[in-house]
Structure 1
Amino acid sequence: MKWLVAILVLLWSQVAIAKPDLTFAARSGRVTVFAEAELHDTAKELAETAEATLTRIAGDLVGLPAPKEIEVRLVRDSSDLPSIAPGGRGAPEWAIGVAYPDLGIITVATRRGMKWIDPAPTLRHELAHIALGAALRHAPHWLHEGFAYQHSREWSWERAETLAGMAWFGSTIPLDQLDASFPAQEQIAHRAYAQSYDFVGFLSRRGRWEDKEDDGDRWPFRRFLGAIAAGADPDLAARQAFGRPLKQLFDEWRVDLDQRYMLMPMGLFGLAIWIFCALLLTAAYFRRRHQNKRRLAQWDVEEAARHAKAVNVPPYVPWPGEDPFDDDLDDEKPPGPRLMN
């Protein structure tokens, strides 16, 4: 038994040694950042932008409670996130950042394995979680994730591929099952995250009525959040803000998703044809240019030949016998004139 206790103590000490050493790095407004020593410069940059991010997020949460103090814990590797999480809370293995809205704590990593990941979008995403958690005590998971994505300003090609696949194969997750589709495994939850991001984005730009001329004013979306904060369930809040039950809004979003991504193959096909035609035109241009060069060179040869014929000099032929123009003949003086009586 003593040996077992000793082994457990040894293992715990190894874990404690491996835990990153976080020290105070920066503070700006309501945000305080603790980071590993080599990340203090990065921590200062993040702190400088955090308050502005919170102000921008607050534009969607007008009149609702706001977070008072936020603590950010910055580490280099994502594998260290569980060790710096609040006691007993942990972190998903695949996470690069985690927010704990009830505690006002955010953990962020700058890389996953050998891949460096910009911590700025991650922090914006997690700050949105903190802000929404302070404003809405009981928000569905899909709303949390979609709202955070709206304010992180990050785009992912993989997410676009996921949405395209959901549109092509009709594999969207029913709204009443969406909250239960966020397991700990990243690949399984990927569809749920992508769908939440896109659906909430649709709500944020839809406007009050289903009007093609609507300019995408966000006030209905803000009213929707305010109604949930006041205690309304999401369906009632949707009726009050958008004039439609949440199920109908979800169906509208699926139609919008199909229109955006079902047309993508045709657009890509048209783009491929355009590129092919452009390549043909380019090849024809260079071929014509090469032919013109050859034609000009041939014209130069022909012109040189014509010029040579115009100034043709006969070959030299020596004079037979004595040369009448020999200089020796010029030396003899002609006879003098005869005198005539």
Structure 2
Amino acid sequence: MQRPSAFYRLILIALLCLSWGFATGSDVRGLANAHEIPQQASTTSLKRGGDDSLVRSGYEVIELGECTVHIHPRQVGNVPQVLFERLDRDLSEVRSWLRVEPKKRPLVFVEYGRSAFLEALQHLQIAEVPRWVPALALPAKGIALIDLEYLIRNPGEGLTTVRHELVHLVLGESGAKVPRWVHEGLAQSLARQIPDPSKRREVALFARRGGLVPIHQMDQHLPKSHDRATTLYAVSVLFIEWTRQRFGEDFHARVLQRCGSNISWQQAFTEEAGLNPEAAFNLWQTSFGAQVLWPGILLDLLTSWKSIAILVIVAALVQGIRRRRALRRMRQQEEEEESQLWHSQKFPTSDGPNTKD
């Protein structure tokens, strides 16, 4: 029996190594960052505030330049200094970009781990959120809640998530009644949480068929599941990005400034854009769905793990077929040689030596 060729053995070994690397890489990076980031933590330069009615028993209040942080004393040393710096800087930048004047200091609760995160939710009388939510904001109350463990294990995504939640707080400070999808779209846009090419193509396929959730109905669908929310969030941010390109980078700041007691966000959008949000969304959906998609879709198919698995299976099947054919040819050749030798006069027969040769 023939063994699989060296080429196929190398492919199988490489796939096993890659799959192991993807499965363990995030954990390894997370553990490394968990050791590196806390070493940067320092609170010596921070002004600590007094008691607050929202502070849980035994928690400390740390006054930053733009907000107030509530944290358990045992976790203060684990907080990376970059978090405090980003809280102040991001709040200032987002307020400047949206032209929102602060009305009160936001409260940021920093909790370590899922259990502490859920306890904080209970303390704030907030319903439990899905496990895939590492942070959240309550714009009406000016409160943000952050899972420090997630931030340490995923420093890049964690800080981006923090900025995302701060955008929600600033939109709450604006006083405008902004639709939920606008909240999510602007938060992702300003945090640069732009969908990857594969997700963009998925949205474009829906847009091409006119199958996207209408903009005025989107708030009713956010979120029912992680996958569903991810797709709708992608639609929100892609539309927001389009409005920034079409109507100007400061378009949404101008819309917020127009909002008031007598002017809704939809009216302000219409006055600034010259068309209502529904018409703008339909225009974007048509243009976004008209892009050429087949090269990217083909690339997705070729690079997806399912496609690779199918190719490996096909390669194994082809190798098996070739091996069986080779064995069949070998048997046929052996039978032919044996038949020729049996009838040959140069070799002994079953009756003894051949005396004719």
Is the pair's TM-score, using the shorter chain for normalization, greater than 0.5? yes
| 1:75 matches 2:95 | no
Alpha carbons 1:43, 1:74 under 8 Å: kept: no
Give the distance between the partners of 2:224 and 2:65, measured in 1 at CA: 33
Counterpart selection for 2:174 from 135, 152, 157: 135
Q: Which residue of the partner structure matches residue 322 of structure 2?
A: none
Confirm or deny that 1:100 pairs with 2:143: no
Which shows bigger deviation, 164-173 or 186-195?
Answer: 164-173
Please report how far the alpha carbon of residue 115 of structure 1 lies from its aligned counterpart in structure 2 after TM superposition.
6.7
Q: Counterpart in 2 of 1:59?
A: 96
Distance 1:268 1:45, change over 3 A: same
CA drift at 1:41? 4.2
Letter in 2 for 1:264: L
Question: Where do 1:119-198 residues align within 5 Å?
Answer: 119-157=158-196, 159-160=199-200, 162-167=202-207, 169-198=209-238
- Return the letter of the residue paired with 1:89: I
CA offset digits 1:79-138 (Å, max 9, x no partner): 5433212532234213111101122111112456x9746421111001100000110341
Q: Which residue of 1 aligns with 2:86?
A: 49
Secondary structure of 1:73's aligned partner: strand
Aligned 8 A contact 2:110 2:145 in 1:
yes
User: Does residue 1:200 correspond to 2:240, yes or no?
Assistant: yes
Kindly indicate whether the alpha-carbon contact (under 8 Å) linking 1:125 and 1:148 is maintained by their aligned counterparts in 2.
Answer: yes
Distance 1:71 1:128 in 2: 14
Residues 205-216 of structure 1 mapped to structure 2, 5 A cutoff? 205-207=245-247
Provide closer, same or farther for how the CA distance between residues 79 and 256 of structure 1 changes in structure 2, counting only shifts above 3 A. Answer: farther
Q: Say which is worse superposed, 224-233 or 129-138, in terms of deviation.
A: 224-233
SS in 2 for 1:60: helix
User: Distance between the aligned counterparts of 2:253 and 2:106, measured in 1?
Assistant: 23
SS of 1:89's equivalent in the other structure is coil
User: Which residue pairs with 1:256 in the alignment?
Assistant: 287
Give the direction of change, closer, same or farther, for the CA distance of 1:171–1:122 in structure 2 (3 Å limit). Answer: same
Distance 1:253 1:104 in 2: 33
Question: Cα offset for 1:29?
Answer: 0.7
C-alpha distance in structure 2 between counterparts of 1:137 and 1:99, whole Å: 16
The equivalent of 1:236 in structure 2 is 267
- Give how far 1:183 is off: 3.4
Displacement after TM superposition at 1:247 (Å): 1.8
Q: Which has the higher contact order (CA 8 A, sep 6+)?
A: 2
Q: 1:154 to 1:78 in 2, by over 3 A?
A: farther
User: Does the aligned pair in 2 maintain the 1:146–1:198 contact within 8 Å?
Assistant: yes
Residue pair 2:182, 2:236 contacting (<8 A) in 1 also: yes
Partner letter of residue 281 of structure 2? F
**Structure 1 stretches lacking a partner, 5+ long:** 1-19, 208-216, 274-341
1:111/1:233 CA distance change after superposition, 3 Å:
same
Q: CA deviation at 1:229?
A: 4.0
CA distance in 2, matches of 1:219, 1:156: 22
TM-aligned CA distance change 1:264 to 1:39, over 3 Å: farther
Question: 1:336 aligns to what?
Answer: none
Contact kept in structure 2, 1:145 and 1:193, CA below 8 Å: yes
Q: Which moved more, 1:153-162 or 1:133-142?
A: 153-162
Alpha-carbon distance change, 197 to 271 in structure 1, aligned in 2, over 3 angstroms: closer
Higher-Rg structure is 1
Shift of the alpha carbon at 1:49? 1.8
Taking a change above 3 Å as real, the CA distance of residues 185 and 78 of structure 1, as seen in their structure-2 partners, is farther
Under a length normalisation based on structure 2, what TM-score does the superposition of the two structures give?
A: 0.59
In the alignment, structure 2 segments of 5+ residues that lack a partner are 1-55, 303-357
Q: CA deviation at 1:152?
A: 1.2
Quick one: structure 1 residues 270 and 23, their matched pair in 2 at CA, closer, same or farther if it must change by over 3 Å?
closer
CA contact (8 A) 2:67 2:107 kept: yes
Aligned-partner SS, 2:166:
helix
Paired residue total: 242
Q: Which residue of 2 aligns with 1:88?
A: 125
Q: Distance in 1 between matches of 2:224 and 2:101?
A: 30
Q: Secondary structure at the match of 2:145?
A: strand
Residues 67, 130 of structure 1: 8 Å contact kept: no
Q: Greater CA deviation, 226-235 or 125-134?
A: 226-235
Instruction: Tell me the SS of whatever aligns to 2:112.
Output: strand
Q: Distance in 1 between matches of 2:106 and 2:215?
A: 32
1:299-338 superposed matches below 5 A: none
Counterpart of 1:126 in structure 2: which amino acid? E
Please give the alpha-carbon distance, in whole angstroms, between the structure 2 residues aligned to 1:80 and 1:168. 44
